[in-house]
Amino acid sequence: MRAYIIRRLLLGVGTLFILSLAVFAMLRIAPGDPAVIRCGLACTDTRIEAIRDDMGLNDAYHVQYLNWLGDVVTGDLGDANFSGKPVVDSLIERLPVTLELLIITILVTAVVGISFGIISAVYRNSAADYGVRVTAVLGLAVPNFWVATLVLIVPLTLWGYAPDLGGAVGFFDDPLANLRQFVPPAVVLGLASSAGIMRLTRSSLLEVLRTDYVLTARSKGLRERVVVGRHALRNALIPVVTVLGLQVAALMGGTVIVEQIFALPGLGQFFFQTLLSRDFIVVQSLTLYIGAVVVLMNLLVDICYAWLDPRIRYE
The whole-number pLDDT of residue 81 equals 64
The whole-number pLDDT of residue 16 equals 84
The whole-number pLDDT of residue 211 equals 81
C-alpha dist (Å) from residue 34 to 22, 71, 77, 275, 284 = 19, 18, 16, 10, 14
Query: Three-class SS of residue 215?
Result: helix
Which residues belong to CATH 1.10.3720.10 in the chain?
95-265
Fold of 95-265: MetI-like fold (1.10.3720)
Below-70 pLDDT ranges, the chain: 1, 4, 32, 40-41, 78-84, 162-167, 249, 305-315
